């Protein structure tokens, strides 16, 4: 389990949450939980809650990267309204080598409004203690956070070169697949130029474990191979073992289904980064057959066992796979399920 866990989210005056709203990442015993599944109808605030976390932690860049076109820094999805307040509480088991190490185990709270951005130490007899700005910056900057938005169809750009793609567009979420290919191919190239151990095969082995889980231990797998094209000489391919012939490339990975591409891209990125932070996913069920939807949470937990996962979904499968205290149902005020009957 990671030494730092999100345990509470509190928002007010932010998009769908004009009144104060609080959700907990704690079990009945008060321990941090590794997953929270948020469900509800369109417009209930599921995406807003995810993006509130990103804004509070200074990750507006991840929101901008999900936009379908270039956007200014003040796009409405990255802006804190004047009346809004976002507060995230984290439990810290230990923090060696940081300013917070002396206080651990402890709870801290990140508070962000349009006027200020602060980090507070909780639990003291005199109430919350504001920590120095340097500690706040270190805390939010060093938290690993990844976001898979509901606007995530990757560009299918074909093969890659050994040099990276230049330009700001490489950070866009739709270039996630390209960056994954580039990372694997560049790592493989180290074998010819360096005595250092390359990680590409280990990454591909883990990625293929996930691939086989999705395909019920099928007979295909993914590998990085030459394309024969001078401009983009390397690519990821889907291979199959043909009897009496051996492994043969069937097609480029780009030709996989949209659902396969999205999940290979996310899985590959988390694997090569060794991700163990806070993973936010909006509508993970997009483009997936119900059989694959049923594998969402088990796959994610296997993929990033040390991460904390926050999922916003319309699918019953992640909801059913979470424990009761790991589920939140957001409903508009006019929904009949919000009415209290009796005295």
- pLDDT tens digits, 205-262: 999 999 998 888 778 999 999 888 888 888 999 999 998 888 999 999 999 988 888 8
Dist. CA 281–CA 283, nearest whole Å: 6
Domains of the chain: 4-144+275-338 (3.40.50.300), 168-255 (no CATH)
Helix axes 258-273, 176-193, angle to 10 degrees: 50
pTM for the model stands at 0.87
Residue 165: predicted pLDDT: 45
Residue 166: predicted pLDDT: 43
Residue 66: predicted pLDDT: 74
Residue showing tokens 């009144």: 19
Residue 167: predicted pLDDT: 44
Residue 170: predicted pLDDT: 54
Flag residues of the chain having pLDDT under 50.
Answer: 1, 164-169
Residue 252: predicted pLDDT: 93
In the chain, DSSP finds a helix count (H) and a strand count (E) of 9, 14
Residue 230: predicted pLDDT: 81
The alpha-helical segments, DSSP class H, found in 143-255 are: 176-193, 200-214
Instruction: Report the b/e string of 217-244 with b at 16+ CB within 10 A.
Output: eeeebbbbbebeeeeeebbbbbbeeeee
Residue 12: predicted pLDDT: 97
């Amino acid at each position: 389990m990671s030494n730092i866990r999100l345990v509470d989210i509190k928002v007010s005056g932010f998009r769908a949450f004009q009144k104060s709203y609080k959700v907990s990442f704690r079990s009945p015993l008060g321990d941090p939980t590794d997953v929270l599944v948020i469900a509800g109808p369109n417009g209930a605030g599921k995406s807003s809650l995810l993006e509130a976390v990103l804004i509070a932690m200074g990750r507006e860049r991840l929101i901008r990267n999900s936009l379908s076109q270039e956007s200014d820094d003040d796009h409405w999805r990255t802006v804190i309204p004047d009346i809004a307040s976002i507060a995230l509480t984290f439990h810290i088991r230990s923090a060696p080598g940081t300013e917070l190490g002396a206080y651990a185990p402890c709870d801290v709270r990140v508070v962000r409004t349009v006027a200020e951005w602060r980090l507070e130490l909780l639990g003291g007899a005199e109430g919350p203690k504001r920590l120095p700005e340097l500690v706040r910056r270190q805390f939010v900057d060093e938290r690993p956070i990844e976001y898979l938005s509901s606007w995530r169809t990757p560009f299918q750009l074909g093969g890659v070169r050994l040099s990276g793609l230049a330009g700001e567009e490489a950070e866009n979420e739709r270039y996630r697949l390209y960056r994954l290919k580039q990372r694997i191919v560049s790592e493989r190239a180290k074998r010819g130029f360096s005595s250092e151990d390359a990680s590409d095969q280990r990454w591909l082995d883990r990625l293929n474990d996930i691939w086989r889980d999705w395909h019920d231990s099928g007979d295909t797998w993914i590998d990085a191979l030459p394309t024969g094209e001078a401009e983009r000489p390397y690519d990821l391919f889907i291979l199959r073992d043909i009897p009496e012939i051996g492994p043969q490339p069937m097609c480029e990975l780009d030709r996989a289904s949209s659902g396969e591409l999205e999940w290979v891209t996310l899985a590959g990125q988390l694997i090569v980064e060794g991700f163990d932070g806070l993973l936010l996913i909006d509508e993970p069920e997009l483009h997936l057959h119900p059989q694959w939807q049923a594998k969402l949470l088990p796959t994610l937990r296997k993929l990033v066992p040390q991460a904390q996962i926050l999922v916003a979904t319309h699918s019953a499968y992640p909801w059913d796979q979470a424990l009761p205290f790991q589920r939140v149902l957001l409903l508009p005020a006019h929904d009949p399920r919000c009415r209290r009957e009796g005295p």
